Amino acid sequence: MMDQELPPQQPSQVLGVLIPGGVVRTDFVPSDASGMKFSLALSGISGKDIASVSELIFFLLPGVSLPPEFGALLYWQIISTPDQNSMSSTPFSDQGATKTEFELVGAITNQRPSDSFRTGWATNETLASSINSVSSTITINLGVSIEHISNIQNIGAVKDDTTNVAKKIAMNLFNFMQSFDTGGGGGGNMIVPMNVFERWLSRFEAKQRQDPNFFMKDQS
């Protein structure tokens, strides 16, 4: 991560998250001593109910703002705790629990202090496999990282970053076309099928139905 100025000390409660139809959760807890990373276990929802959650609303609490030039990135991960032979009943015990890598959900800033984000949980194969396991209890853990706005813009996590969205879509199309190029065009030209755009668009729309922001997460 690039060097950056650390934000000043924040109030104990800054962030909130809401599953539509549920209760507002504000009980994020620090994940390290930096004061820039937080986590929250989505207790009270488990099993196939997790997959039915299609979106999360992430927001700054009223009257609270982040330090200037900083934003909050929201991530999620799966924690699987064995139902038996576990030494602890807490979902974050390291004894027997397994955790997936964090996946990006989205970001908020002082200029956009709240937003709704698609989870993609209904079509996530790793989550489906974990839910169908009869030997584990599944907990969704949310993670928050307070980062400089330049980092957030670089990964395309802010919805209204129109220029970056256009670049990401163009790069997705270019990579798709390049996968068909035989290299016979010469001079930097591509040789691709005549229907390559229709094939790309069909693929793009199918993936977007599963995760509307999938192309923003592509680091290529």
* pLDDT band at residue 73 using 50, 70 and 90 as cut-offs: very high
- Does the CA dihedral 77-165-37-109 come out positive or negative? negative
Q: Is the pLDDT at 91 greater than 80, yes or no?
A: no
Supply the angle between the helices 196-210 and 162-178 in degrees, to the nearest 10. 130
CA dist 213 and 166 (Å) reads 12
Position with higher pLDDT, 135 vs 24: 24
pLDDT digits (tens, 9 = 90+) for 155-191: 766 655 555 667 778 888 888 888 887 777 665 667 7
pLDDT digits (tens, 9 = 90+) for 93-126: 445 678 888 999 999 999 889 988 888 888 888 8
- Residue 157's pLDDT is 63
- The kind and range of the H/E element at 147 are strand 136-148
Number of other residues whose CB lies within 10 A of the CB of residue 52: 13
Closest listed residue to residue 59, CA positions, set 67, 71, 50 = 71
CA dist 156 and 161 (Å) reads 7
pLDDT digits (tens, 9 = 90+) for 8-51: 555 457 899 998 877 788 999 998 888 899 999 987 666 667 87
- Alpha carbon of residue 7 to chain centroid: 22
Q: How many residues does the chain have?
A: 220
Find out whether 85 and 44 touch, Cβ atoms under 8 Å.
Answer: no
- Residue 170's pLDDT is 81
Could you give the C-alpha distances from 173 to 20, 70, 160, in angstroms and in order?
34, 31, 21
CA dist 186 and 139 (Å) reads 53
Q: Taking the model in full, what pTM does it have?
A: 0.63
Could you give the C-alpha distances from 165 to 70, 72, 159, 191, 200, in angstroms and in order?
20, 19, 8, 26, 17
